[in-house]
């Protein structure tokens, strides 16, 4: 009979698959936000050598953050106020509330930039909420932000450019 221990340094195959699946899913969730930011600022897109899925996800996070920083001049505090009212009307709180505000302001800023409106915004950047640790929390935060950016009807209105000074949404 053979007795012994297997595995000290081995990783269970189901954990590897679960990690790969999570990485792939996160990259797919980030695609619409990443695509819009790279369209607005092509210079944030990094070179694409063959990388592992984890490194590709890390690059995607860096590119999104760079795009959000470059978008700062078009961010407007009035859009943030409208977004807060929308989130409050929907009785959202916590991270979801913050994600709605961030997605709404980002969509409004992208639309303003696309229409060539002057960069007279407040220039505010909204970092990830305070409760997030750096690495895993950043990915989770950006995935939530991307999900809201893609699915929220209020954010879709901002993406169509309904919040600009010539035609602001009133709630």
**Among 99, 110, 128, CA closest to 164:** 110
Sign of CA dihedral 89, 112, 167, 76: positive
Query: For residue 46, is it within any domain?
Result: no
Q: What is the pLDDT of residue 28?
A: 93
Residue 61 maps to a domain: yes
- Tell me: pLDDT of 158 over 80: no
pLDDT for 166: 44
Residue 92: inside a domain, yes or no?
Answer: yes
* Count of domains forming the chain: 1
Is the pTM higher than 0.85? The answer reads: no
Residue 50 within a domain: no
Tens digit of each residue's pLDDT (9 = 90 or more) over 35-64: 999 999 999 998 776 678 888 898 999 999
Higher per-residue pLDDT: 90 or 19: 90
> Percent of the chain, pLDDT > 70?
71
Q: Answer yes or no: is 9 within a domain.
A: no
Tokens of 16: 């590897």
Higher pLDDT, 75 or 166: 75
In a domain, 47, yes or no: no
Under the banding of pLDDT at 50, 70 and 90, the label for residue 135 is low
Of residues 152 and 147, the one with the higher pLDDT is 147
Closest listed residue to residue 112, CA positions, set 45, 35, 40, 42: 40
**pLDDT higher than threshold 50 for residue 3:** yes
pLDDT at residue 115, as a whole number: 84
What range does the domain containing 118 cover? 30-41+57-159
Positive/negative CA dihedral, 35, 21, 151, 106: negative
Listed ranges 83-92, 129-138, 152-161; the one with the highest mean pLDDT: 83-92
Residue 166, in any domain of the structure: no
Q: What is the mean pLDDT of residues 158-168?
A: 57
In a domain, 118, yes or no: yes
CB-based contact 133:139 (threshold 8 Å):
no
Q: What is the pLDDT of residues 72-116, one digit of tens each?
A: 999 988 888 988 988 888 898 888 899 999 999 999 999 889 888
């Amino acid at each position: 009979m053979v007795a012994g221990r297997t595995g000290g340094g081995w990783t269970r195959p189901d954990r590897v698959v679960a990690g790969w699946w999570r990485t792939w899913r996160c990259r797919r969730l980030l695609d619409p936000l990443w695509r819009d930011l790279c369209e607005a600022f092509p210079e944030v897109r990094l070179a694409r050598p063959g990388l592992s899925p984890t490194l590709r996800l890390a690059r995607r996070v860096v590119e999104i953050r760079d795009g959000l920083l470059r978008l700062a001049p078009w961010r407007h505090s009035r859009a943030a106020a409208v977004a807060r009212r929308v989130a409050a009307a929907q009785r959202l709180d916590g991270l979801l509330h913050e994600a709605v505000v961030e997605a709404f302001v980002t969509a409004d800023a992208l639309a303003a930039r696309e229409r060539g409106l002057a960069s007279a915004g407040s220039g505010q950047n909204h970092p990830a909420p305070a409760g997030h640790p750096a690495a895993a929390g950043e990915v989770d935060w950006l995935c939530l932000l991307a999900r809201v950016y893609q699915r929220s009807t209020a954010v879709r209105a901002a993406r169509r450019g309904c919040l600009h000074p010539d035609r602001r949404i009133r709630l």
